[in-house]
Chains A and B, each alone.
Chain A
């Protein structure tokens, strides 16, 4: 974890509301592990003080990129920034995914929307390619398909409105694959909480391991403020653990889903 000023190399529209931000971050990028994030201070953000966390998408030498969707005042201001501008970053932060130790493990990735971004480094560093299941509301929410295919991964898409790939939730094609063959499978997922909960239930049903990147509202990003906690099982029941520090990646069976709202 380091804090450094970074230079914006590119900040461009990806598709629809999604953007890609490329940063020159010589001290952060080389350390980045799959599933980790950077905490960015967005300059000239009036009245809003806090940093915004973004999953690390791609890393190349001293640069890293993130994908973001313009949803609030922070990301709208971020989209206005131009190449050459500076911002402050803290990273890489968080406990990421466990890269499969051997090609014996068959990785299946599950992404909702720009959850794809958090899974890219894992796909790149896994000892063997697998399948990535990606879901979204409509075609415009299916990101990075070409990038994953370029790594030799198979991409199976599902959209809720049926405008692209299968109609329905992403867990539908995932279930079919697990029914076909669940041997040696390990699941890695990033997306909205209801999707992660459904992936957790499938992992339990098919008795496979699953690692989930939890998306919680975050404040300090470094484990101090205790904003981003989720209930995690312990020998005595459960306790709140920090998504920014113990997570964002947790094993599916460690999460006390029954306690979560």
Chain B
């Protein structure tokens, strides 16, 4: 009989074989931690393929990444780049997931180096190359080494304002002191204008006012505050911090933010502000890329005011890509990263679309062949001028970077304080989260 049922013995063997196969498949799928996904010599002719983690935004589109990668590949013969796209703008979280599954990319765009350096996952750049090319060579250095070329910087947050709406409320110029700022908010509200737009539905966006106030009031007076927090010399529950945070609570309590602000998504907050639904918007300088070109002159910007009117610029030097310490082709990875980081075409896209402030040595805005608004030029002046620059709390990627996970706790506190008077309680939670994260 040709088509008879398999014997019990062969069925058992088949079952055992299947189970063994599945077990082996399961085992082989779990790559070792720290593995790199790149493959040297994976193509014919000695070419190398390296993986590159990117992220997309309305400004940094698929087309931007593809073009910039193609240009970088041309600069490094024999190199092929496999683009990976983070599923959200949180590159750090995705890079960690890739690392946990043994697929840590060879190149990683705009991640926070401190988290990964502690695990020995990143390779530092040659300091002489960094010194030769960038205005602030140590701007985002971590423990004395540069892991991401300091190609550009941001001010986080700036206070953008609508000049027309200010005029309608009888305000002729932006506020200088905190008292002026509060008086202007009151005047705008009285005139029936929403004083401040807040995209509180996205946690990072909800934290912008608090970041502005803390950077101005706390780091403005003590630029080493974050380092001292690491050393345990200061705390969030200190009186000066709570006083600063109480200012944010006052703003929320007085109704200076948009109605239902915690339900407004970040993308909608941009539309609301640019379409004239609110007079001010506290956001990172990348908002400059969203200023409507047809009425850009309606918009101006100033720094979060301090009590005495002194100027404090919450500053963060970002940059391009980090290089995996475990990449199979470090020379080619470095050559690609350096070529990408100096490519003027990339700067043009980053400046015009993402409002990035370029940090290349010996260049002016004109050298990048960009078309930017007056508010961009005025804002860039805060970067190039001599003034008090402090780390933007939660955004610095240097030694002032907050420990892993703290940003989420910080964002949650910002949202909680929108409707809770318990400033001390929220700050105690932050201290507790900091202690857990640094234990």
Tell whether A pairs with B. no
Which B residues form the contact surface with A (CB < 8 A)?
Answer: none
Which A residues form the contact surface with B (CB < 8 A)?
Answer: none
